[in-house]
Amino acid sequence: MSSSRAHTRIGTARQLEILLSVFEQHSISAAAKTLHLTQPSVSMQLAKLSAAVGLPLYYSVGKQLHFTEAGLTLVESAREILKSYEYLDLKLAKLRGLESGKLQLAVVTTAKYFIPHLIGDFYEQHPQLDIRFRVGNRQQIIDYTSEDADDFYVFSHPPQNPDLELVEFLPNHLLAIAPEKHPLANRKKVSLKEFASCPFLRREEGSGTRHAIERFLTKQGIDLNMRMTIESNEAIKHAVMSGLGVSILSEHTLAFGGRSGLAILNVEALPIITHWYLARRKSRPLSPAAMEFLEYARNLETVPEEIGGARIHTSK
């Protein structure tokens, strides 16, 4: 059977990588910086790719790049081809074993308080691994799942996606907080209605914590006295300390992020009890590192208290 030689007429994998980077960065100069190449080198490789295909791939209008139909078709295929390389590397890593490799996680904002502790303990057992994670709110992590660039995604409220396998691994309690000198701070019991009447500070749209609170309050038939929307757990804590209102945050935010100046209230029907989940794309091969981490997470009952000296790279 004669093999197809089409790949010899559609550029190299490096050229496809460059094309995809230019498309995602919307800029030749930004792509060059990301790929550690000079701008002329990027332009030259794109010109060679266009010549190999026999069609223009993009054109410029002012400072804006616009991709042609041929360019968009090539971008779509480039994603599939480069993903095939990544999957091949994962399969080969499985044959090589756990002696080397990396573990890539994407975690929701609240999880950033305990994931380093969890990873630190895991790294002490496997110091040869390169462990990386990136942080975003719930909606950003949902968007990341479609990129298929991570081994696992950490959610407290995972999306309903048939392409994802979910593994429950830790409890997550959402607690009511107030300034330590708040009138409710010394009360043994606070009604949910009374708590809801206080000025409330909430997370932004797309936050998993906000999603859980809204779902809980809908079931309870309670409306909050909304004062402010804040895009950070830390900022909410400081706003509560400053007397701007009350809020509900994860126990992990308070345990690992500090709770000085705050009071945890004993509110009727609280805490809101949720769980953390590891989500992974079913189609993505499990590397030895990912398999070992999955088993480690399944056996966790609490978060390790101390972080080890892991090579952990975080990005927002």
Helix (H/G/I), strand (E/B), else coil: 52: helix
The verdict on residue 67 lying in a domain is yes
Give the tens place of pLDDT for each residue, 64-103.
899 999 999 999 988 888 888 887 877 777 666 665 678 9
DSSP 59-73: EEETTEEEE-HHHHH
CATH of the domain at 16: 1.10.10.10
Say yes or no: 147 and 280 in one domain. Answer: yes
Q: What is the pLDDT of residue 123?
A: 87
- Residue 240 neighbours by CB distance under 10 Å: 24
Summarize the confidence of residues 128-145 as an average pLDDT: 92
Q: What is the pLDDT of residue 198?
A: 97
CATH of the domain at 108: 3.40.190.10
Say yes or no: 42 and 73 in one domain. Answer: yes
Give the tens place of pLDDT for each residue, 234-254.
999 999 999 999 999 999 888
The verdict on residue 19 lying in a domain is yes
Q: What is the pLDDT of residue 262?
A: 94
Say yes or no: 269 and 182 in one domain. Answer: yes
- Contact (Cβ atoms closer than 8 angstroms) between residue 135 and residue 110: no
Of the two residues 270 and 123, the one the predictor is more confident about is 270
Q: What is the pLDDT of residue 142?
A: 95
Say yes or no: 164 and 104 in one domain. Answer: yes
The verdict on residue 210 lying in a domain is yes
**63: CB partners within 8 A, 6+ apart:** none
Say yes or no: 215 and 281 in one domain. Answer: no
Of the two residues 145 and 90, the one the predictor is more confident about is 145
* Percentage with pLDDT > 90 across the chain: 55
Place of tokens 């000079």: 38
Tell me the residue type at 313. H
Say yes or no: 42 and 14 in one domain. Answer: yes
**171: CB partners within 8 A, 6+ apart:** 273, 274, 275, 276
Q: Indicate whether 117 pLDDT > 90.
A: no
Say yes or no: 64 and 198 in one domain. Answer: no
Boundary-marking domain end, from 61, 92, 123: 92
The verdict on residue 201 lying in a domain is yes
Q: How far apart are CA 170 and CA 300, in angstroms?
A: 7
Using the Cα atoms of residue 201, residue 203, residue 205 and residue 210 in order, give the sign of their dihedral.
Answer: negative
Q: Indicate whether 47 pLDDT > 80.
A: yes
Give the tens place of pLDDT for each residue, 185-236.
989 999 999 999 999 999 999 888 999 999 999 999 999 999 999 998 999 9
Say yes or no: 192 and 280 in one domain. Answer: no
Say yes or no: 115 and 151 in one domain. Answer: yes
Q: Is beta strand 262-265 parallel, antiparallel or unpaired with respect to 199-202?
A: unpaired
Q: What is the pLDDT of residue 312?
A: 35
> What integer best gives the mean pLDDT of the chain?
87
Domain count, the chain: 3
Q: How far apart are CA 108 and CA 136, in angstroms?
A: 5
Give the domain range for residue 258.
172-273
The verdict on residue 1 lying in a domain is no
Helix (H/G/I), strand (E/B), else coil: 102: strand
Beta bridge partners of 108: 136
Say yes or no: 259 and 304 in one domain. Answer: no
Using the Cα atoms of residue 218, residue 222, residue 228 and residue 234 in order, give the sign of their dihedral.
Answer: negative
Summarize the confidence of residues 154-159 as an average pLDDT: 91
- Residue 86 neighbours by CB distance under 10 Å: 13
Q: What is the pLDDT of residue 293?
A: 92
Summarize the confidence of residues 39-45 as an average pLDDT: 91
Say yes or no: 72 and 165 in one domain. Answer: no
Q: What is the pLDDT of residue 282?
A: 93
Helices and strands in the chain, H and E counts: 11, 12
**227: CB partners within 8 A, 6+ apart:** 199, 200, 201, 244, 245
Three-point CA angle 259, 119, 131, nearest 5°: 130
